[in-house]
Amino acid sequence: MGRGGRPTGAESMGTSRTDDLPRMGIDERRIGVTSRKKILLVDDSSTALLLSRMVLQGMSYDVVTARDGLEGLEKAKQVHPDLILLDVMMPRMDGIEACKRLRDDPATASIPIIMVTTRGEEAIAEASYAYGCNEFVTKPVDAAELLAKVRNCLGDWEGT
């Protein structure tokens, strides 16, 4: 609140003063601001995005979405997620190529990646792990299995 009990600009818009820190290039964790962990969902299926978002937001994670591998790479650099859930079959750039590029970029190389796909063949799983994914889940996703793998990758067994 500003003087006289009036809300400041940020408060009147329903945002906190820390919402713009990542956009300004400030890592919230370095200055002691605690925030919920961010998960980037990269999938071209609206249904898959909706279901995953519902499961993850219900566990108090902040969720950001992208519709293909190229957009996923851009968002990963912009929002610095704590975890990426990455579909395999997508337009413009598939998940395996996106995983490889995320691992090749020092800015995103250490972000855990869970591949989430309908393509559960052994060759797809092997390629995903070869290019650096941490976990592999097949669709339709079991919510309990997905949450267990998310928590494992984040070292977060209490939720956020």
What is the token pair recorded at 72? 């996923």
Residue 26: per-residue pLDDT: 58
CA dist., res. 96 & res. 116, Å (int): 11
pTM (2 d.p.):
0.76
User: Would you say 51 and 36 are in contact if contact means Cβ atoms under 8 Å apart?
Assistant: no
Residue 17: per-residue pLDDT: 42
Residue 11: per-residue pLDDT: 38
Concatenating the DSSP letter of every residue in 132-158 gives T-SEEEESSPPHHHHHHHHHHHHT-SS
CA dist., res. 80 & res. 27, Å (int): 9
Q: List the one residue out of 18, 62, 69, 66 whose CA is nearest residue 39.
A: 62
Domain annotation for the chain: domains and CATH numbers: 27-154 (3.40.50.2300)
Quick one: how many helices (H) and strands (E) in the chain?
Answer: 6, 5
pLDDT string in tens for the chain (160-residue length): 444 444 444 333 333 344 555 555 555 555 555 578 999 999 999 999 998 988 898 888 999 999 999 999 999 999 999 999 999 999 999 999 999 999 999 999 999 999 999 988 899 999 999 999 999 999 988 999 999 999 999 997 654 4
What is the token pair recorded at 80? 């610095």
125-150 as b/e: b if 16+ CB within 10 A: bebbeebbbbbbbbbebeeeebbebb
CA dist., res. 153 & res. 84, Å (int): 10
User: Would you say 72 and 81 are in contact if contact means Cβ atoms under 8 Å apart?
Assistant: no
Write the burial class of residue 18 (CB in 10 Å: 0-12 exposed, 13-18 middle, 19+ buried). middle
